[in-house]
A and B are shown apart, each in its own frame.
Chain A
């Protein structure tokens, strides 16, 4: 198992106004699956290309187990990359595709045959050695690509949005399969995705990249429930922010005072946020509640999404257990439970 350290990694593409990534410093623990989450253009794929050795960093260092790999060519780093497309070689059958990494190293024929069979069992596609890539479905192609990436027993496995072109159901089974195989083999893995739920479902820790820098790095639950900054909170689906003045356990805003946890001694300006599913709608006035009018609602099956117009803005509420449903124009009260209000930068 290999530890990966990124040390002030910077990559600036020629003729681009801003660097793709800027001073990225990260440590991936041995055997960990770290997700790099971010919108397109946030530089997440660039990091993988730098670790793989397809591109060179302008500044900074990459270390595997404490040793710099900057001088090592891509084909000898032991860091394999899986792309969004499977990139199976169309002129080779499945067995030869999987065997590719072993053949270029000059492995013995018997070893190759045994390893190919072992990998096909691991990805749950036994017996398809003689098929050609065009005879496989998209999900099967990605499974073969995973087998091909793992057959060389790499130190690091990198996945560049490997599931984003697949159907939802296939994607979910493959997410589980990849997670299981990664745990079984113990390979240190980096997953690039723009899909929050994928990052949350698959990773041990998630790094959120915004504009080429690390905006947050935390366990998925923490990132989801307690995002540290406003930008991160927005990315993980928080849209309600309360700006005001914090006085002990009371946040004074233009909507009125709110009780918050925990209490602080100092009096200072602060911003608190709350996830849309933590807000509650009630017909009668309540503690920590503000009056409003239902401006719009959208029934989404598992939940109903309300847009409630309150003094000076719109509050988005996700109602998973509707005690009663409201119609457009109904007067309601939006309650902010203190235990779910958290402070952001």
Chain B
């Protein structure tokens, strides 16, 4: 019984790897090959030239920079706005809490086109269309639910007596936040940041609607390149697109598993 389940486990694990890695493998083959003709299974000559050329293009560089910029700005803002909301939802019991959760959850089920067009009209009046700030703000709509839910589940298992303890030992509110709360919820904060960054990083439609072609992020550049139809260029840009998230996950992996980075924060009696 145990033997069979182990085989099943490994089989599904390998299938998962293949499904996830196959597209990236195809991109790698296209991006770094010079000649690749029938009947060869893999290319005969390899080069990094198209990759470096693509990185040297001002358009690509600017797209990379604005994607990073918007991603980081969105994550920061989302944490700032999401933290108090998540803390309240996770720690407090109050009438209408279910409704509050539903309202936070709503943006994830709303079609982005509806949100985008609606906000476009508002942002036009405010002069926010075509600006990095405008795109950042619209990215907050799909990002916030992830941040609030991740942090709310952290606070549901959080014991505020740690903060009370620090307070009676003489710590000011700021000292409590940076010296006690933040270290205790650090793993959860990292996961929330990761989600926020990834959701912002992969936005296309909302960036297009609010950015109006003036804010060029990596997905916008990628879509316009796809219509061009050059497999090498598409592959290089795709790799640039998936690289930062993968690097980010690799660097924070030890905080994402509960054994490694998570502190034992017991439930209140």
Contact = CB atoms under 8 A, between A and B. Distances in A.
Interface string A66-79: 00000000111101
A284 interface: no
A104 B170 CA distance: 7
B263 A81 contact: no
A145 B172 CA distance: 19
B268 to A, nearest CB: 10
B180 interface: yes
A180 B159 CA distance: 31
A101 B263 CA distance: 22
A157 to B, nearest CB: 10
Contacts of A152: 169-170
B165 A87 contact: yes
A326 interface: no
30 contacts: A52-B168, A53-B168, A54-B167, A54-B168, A74-B168, A75-B170, A75-B172, A79-B168, A80-B168, A80-B169, A81-B165, A83-B164, A83-B165, A85-B161, A87-B159, A89-B162, A89-B166, A89-B180, A89-B184, A90-B263, A90-B264, A91-B263, A100-B171, A101-B170, A104-B171, A104-B175, A104-B179, A134-B264, A148-B169, A152-B170
A91 B166 CA distance: 14
Contacts, number: 63
B164 A81 contact: yes
A161 to B, nearest CB: 11
Contact of A100 (B169, B172, B263, B266): B169
B264 A87 contact: no
Interface string A131-143: 0001000000000
A80 B184 CA distance: 21
A76 B183 CA distance: 23
Contacts of A83: 161, 164-165
A149 B183 contact: no
Given A89-B183, A90-B263, A100 B166 contact: yes
Contacts of B184: 89-91
A54 B263 CA distance: 25
Contacts of B159: 87
A91 B183 contact: yes
B168 A81 contact: yes
Contact of A149 (B162, B169, B172): B169
A310 to B, nearest CB: 42
A130 interface: no
A54 B171 CA distance: 13
A271 to B, nearest CB: 38
Contacts of B169: 75, 80, 100-101, 104, 148-149, 152
Contacts of A54: 164, 167-168
B185 to A, nearest CB: 11
A49 to B, nearest CB: 8
B183 A75 contact: no
Contacts of A104: 166, 169-172, 175, 179
B173 to A, nearest CB: 8
A258 B12 CA distance: 85
A261 B175 CA distance: 62
A300 interface: no
A105 interface: yes
Contacts of B171: 75, 100-101, 104
A132 B172 CA distance: 24
Given A53-B167, A54-B164, A77-B168, 16 more contacts: A75-B168, A80-B169, A81-B168, A83-B161, A83-B164, A85-B266, A87-B161, A89-B180, A89-B184, A91-B263, A100-B166, A104-B179, A105-B170, A134-B264, A149-B169, A152-B169
B181 to A, nearest CB: 11
Contacts of B172: 75, 104
A80 B167 CA distance: 9
A119 to B, nearest CB: 13
A88 to B, nearest CB: 9
B184 to A, nearest CB: 7
Interface string B36-54: 0000000000000000000
A85 B266 CA distance: 10
A105 B167 CA distance: 12
Contacts of B167: 53-54, 74-75
Interface in A76-130: 76-77, 79-81, 83, 85, 87, 89-91, 100-101, 104-105
A156 B263 CA distance: 31
Contacts of B165: 81, 83, 87
Interface in A166-224: none
A254 B88 CA distance: 61
A180 to B, nearest CB: 22
Nearest to A165: B269
B255 to A, nearest CB: 13
A101 B171 CA distance: 7
A115 B179 CA distance: 20
Contacts of A81: 164-165, 168
